[in-house]
Amino acid sequence: LKLALSKGCCLVSSSPQHTMGRAIAAAAATGLCVYSASQAFVSSGAPASSSPQAPGLRGAAAAAPDAGSFAGLGGMTAAVASAAVGAAAVRAAGVARSATAVKKKGVRVVEGKEIPWNIFMPKAPYQGKVVPNDVHPHTLTQDTGDANWETTHVTFEHGGNVPYIEGQSIGIIAPGPDKKGETPAKIRLYSIASSAVGDDQSSKTVSLCVKRVVEVDGEYANREVGEDKPDKAGTGFPDKKVYRGVCSNHICDMSPGDDVLITGPTGAEMLLPEEDDANVIMLATGTGIAPMRSYLRLLFHDKAGANADGSRKFKGLAWLFMGVPYSKSLLYDDEHQEYTKSYPDQFRYDYAVSREQKNAAGQKMYIQTKMAEFAEDLWELMQSPKTHIYMCGLKGMESGMEECFSPLAEKNGMVWKEFAKSMKKAKRYHVEVY
C-alpha cells in the first residue's frame, strides 16, 4: 500500500522530540529498560530465539541482548533503544487498535498499551539493506500486457532496529526527484507484508509487496518520448511518454545489497484483535493483500503463532477475499493453498478475477460480487462480537460492502451504514483504502 504524504495521507507522528536523558529517565521510571530479555526485540548482532513466543494473535519478537544493554544497536541512540525495548515489552503481551497520544519517542499508546511508533523519522531514517528472499521470487506476477503488470516482493534487513507488529506500515525514501522536483523524494508509506518476525523469522527483516506504477501516454509524464528505458523486469516504452512512480520503481528495481532508507513503523488501524478465537474476514485488492499476508503468516505459519505442542494459538476462522484483474496477477496463492491444506477448518479463500470471471448474472467478478455468493454466511459471522473485518486496497471496496449487504441488513430490520458504524465503534471494522 502506497500513501503519498504530499496529499496528507501520512500517518507519521508529529510528536515533539525528547532529549536522550528524558527518554532514558522515562523508560527507567516505567521499568522498560530492565524488561525480560527473553521478550525484547532482537538487536543488531544478537542471536535470535529459536522459537519466539507471545500470547494472543500477534507475533513474538526474538530475544535481545542482556536487559538494559543497548550495545550493537547499529547507531540507534539510547533513547530510541529504550523505546524499542519498551515497545517489545507490551508487544509480547499484545496490543489493541485505535491510537491515542504519543507519550515517548518510538512508542505510541494504543488503548492503554504501547506499540513501536516512528522510531525512525524522515529526517533521520534507518539505512537498511536489500536481502535475498528465499520464500518468494522478486517478481510475483506474470506479464499481462498492461504497462503496470509487475508486483514485487522485496525484503530489507534492519538488524532488529525497526521492530513492528502485524498491520503496521513503514516509509521508504526514494532518491527522487519526485513530482514536485524534491530530492530526496518525500516518503511513501507501504503496508508491511511480513509478520513481526519477518519472512525468515529472525525479527531482523521486513518485506513489502509493491506494485510498479507505470502509466503510458497519460496526463502526467516524467519521461518524454525516447527517454524511457527497460526496468529490472525488462518492461520499457521508449517510443511513448511515460510516468513511472518514483518510489515504487525505486523499490521494484532494487537488488540484494542495495541500501534503503526506512522510516516508521506506524499505523494502528489494521492491528489484529487480541482474542485467539476471533474470526477474521479479510478483503484485499491487489497489494492490499500485504497486511493480510502478515496476519496469515503469524496465524498459520510462524513459530510465534504456535503453542509449545505445535498446535496453533489461533482458534477462529480466517476468510480471505482477494480481487485482481487477471489470474496472472494473483499474489501469494501458494501460501493460501498451503494454509487451506493444513488448516481446512480455519482458513478459506476466494478470489475475484475481474477481467476473467463473471457471476451467474454475467457481471464482472469484483470482491463484492464474490462475497454476494456467500452473503448469508458472512452476515451471520458479522453478528458475532468475535468477528473482525479488515479491508485494504481500493476505496470502492466500502461501497461494494454496502451493495452486498444492504439487502440482508434491510431484511433483518437494519440499515447497513448504521450496522457498519456500530462495528467500527466496537473496533471490529478496520479500513485502510486509497
Range 139-149 burial, b when 16+ CB lie within 10 A, else e: bbbeebeebbb
Q: Which of 43, 169, 191, 329 is catalytic?
A: 191
Q: Which of 190, 243, 349, 390 is catalytic?
A: 190
Catalytic site residue 191? Answer: yes
Catalytic site residue 432? Answer: yes
Count of C-beta atoms within a 10 Å radius of residue 274: 17
78-93 vs 20-29: helix crossing angle, rounded to 10: 30
Q: Which of 150, 166, 269, 432 is catalytic?
A: 432
Are 214 and 242 within 8 A, CB to CB? yes
Residue 151, by phi and psi: left (phi above 0), alpha (psi -120 to 50) or beta? Answer: beta
What's the N-to-C CA distance of the chain in angstroms? Answer: 8
Q: Determine the Cα–Cα distance for residues 58 and 294; give it in Å rounded to an integer.
A: 10
Contacts of 313 (CB under 8 A, 6+ apart): 55, 56, 57, 276, 305, 306, 307
Q: Which of 209, 247, 392, 404 is catalytic?
A: 392
Catalytic site residue 434? Answer: yes
Residue 299's SS3 state is helix
Please, how many CA atoms are within 13 Å of residue 179, restricted to the half-sphere of its CB?
13
Q: For residue 127, report the phi and psi dihedrals to the nearest 5 degrees.
A: -95, 110
Residues involved in catalysis:
190-191, 392, 432, 434
